[in-house]
């Protein structure tokens, strides 16, 4: 079952194979949850929205309203994105994409030097980078996080944010350019791709 494509798993689930949805969930839960979490900045809220997203996915699949084009992940990410937007509309406040506590995206980066001094430098660099990412416009932060930390393609990012691929690429280019400028202005030592 794990070797089946997304499309095959969706078809199997629609035909009654509950295990197919579990495989899809396992395949993409980290990317989907991380995307939600970085928008809402709250673990419990992210978990709630993640669950609501999959309830909507299940209801849509069972109702036969899923348009099977082999684009399961972008479709689910768009649902999750819309659920986040709905949450903030209800709360009447704008989302911040970067979190200052809880899950730390920089914890997953691997570094070979584990000396105390190197760790302190890394920790300070991570704090500084988080601070300057927070200063980016929301649309640039969103693309940057989806691309670098959720490892999403620009096509998927464009689908989820409902913009053209060129717009998504432009937002990423502006985000990196703005980060470079802020780093240079603050005399920070980073390597940006």
Q: For residue 191, what are the CA distances in angstroms to 15, 46, 180? A: 49, 30, 9
- Verify that 20 and 95 share a domain, yes or no: yes
| Structure confidence by residue, pLDDT tens digits, 56-105 | 999 998 888 888 676 888 889 888 988 888 888 777 644 444 444 444 44
Residue with the two structure tokens 């990412």:
133
Q: For residue 54, what are the CA distances in angstroms to 34, 79, 83, 127, 185? A: 15, 9, 11, 33, 43
The overall longest dimension of the chain from CA atoms, in Å, is: 59
pLDDT of residue 107: 45
Q: What range defines the domain where residue 99 resides?
A: 1-105
Q: State the average pLDDT over residues 112-124.
A: 66
| Structure confidence by residue, pLDDT tens digits, 146-162 | 887 777 788 888 888 88
**pLDDT at 109 exceeding the cut of 80:** no
**Helix or strand or coil: residue 117?**
helix
- Verify that 183 and 94 share a domain, yes or no: no
φ/ψ region of 151 (left if φ > 0, alpha if ψ in -120 to 50, else beta) reads left
Are 83 and 54 in contact by the 8 Å Cβ rule? The answer is no
Average pLDDT, the chain: 79
pLDDT of residue 98: 44
Q: With bands split at pLDDT 50, 70 and 90, how would you rate the model's confidence at 114?
A: low
CA–CA separation, 164 and 135 (whole Å): 24
| Structure confidence by residue, pLDDT tens digits, 11-54 | 899 899 999 989 999 999 998 998 888 888 888 999 999 999 99
* pTM, 2 dp: 0.55
Who wins on pLDDT, 88 or 177? 177
Please provide residue 8's backbone torsions phi and psi, each rounded to the nearest 5 degrees.
Answer: -65, -40
- Verify that 129 and 95 share a domain, yes or no: no
**pLDDT at 122 exceeding the cut of 80:** no
Smallest CA-to-CA distance from 46 within 57, 59, 32 is with: 32
pLDDT of residue 138: 86
| Structure confidence by residue, pLDDT tens digits, 159-173 | 888 899 999 999 999
Domain boundary among 105, 124, 152: 105
Structurally, how many domains does the chain consist of? 2
Q: What is the CATH number of the domain that holds 41?
A: 1.10.1740.10
CA–CA separation, 30 and 34 (whole Å): 6
């Amino acid at each position: 079952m794990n070797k089946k494509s997304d499309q095959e798993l969706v078809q199997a689930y629609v035909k009654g194979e509950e295990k197919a949805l579990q495989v899809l969930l396992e395949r993409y839960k980290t990317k989907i949850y991380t995307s939600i979490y970085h928008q809402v900045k709250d673990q419990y809220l992210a978990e709630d929205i993640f669950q609501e997203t999959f309830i909507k996915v299940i209801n849509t699949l069972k109702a036969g309203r899923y348009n099977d084009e082999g684009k399961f992940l972008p479709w689910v990410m768009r649902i999750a994105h819309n659920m986040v937007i709905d949450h903030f509309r209800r709360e009447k406040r704008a989302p911040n994409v970067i979190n200052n506590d809880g899950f730390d995206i920089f914890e997953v980066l691997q570094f070979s030097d584990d000396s105390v001094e190197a760790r302190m430098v890394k920790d300070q660099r991570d704090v500084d980078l988080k601070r300057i990412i927070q200063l980016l416009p929301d649309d640039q932060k969103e693309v940057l996080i989806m691309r670098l930390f959720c490892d999403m393609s620009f096509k998927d990012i464009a689908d989820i944010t409902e913009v053209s691929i060129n717009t998504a690429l432009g937002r990423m280019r502006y985000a990196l350019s703005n980060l470079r400028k802020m780093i240079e202005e603050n005399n920070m030592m980073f390597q940006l791709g």
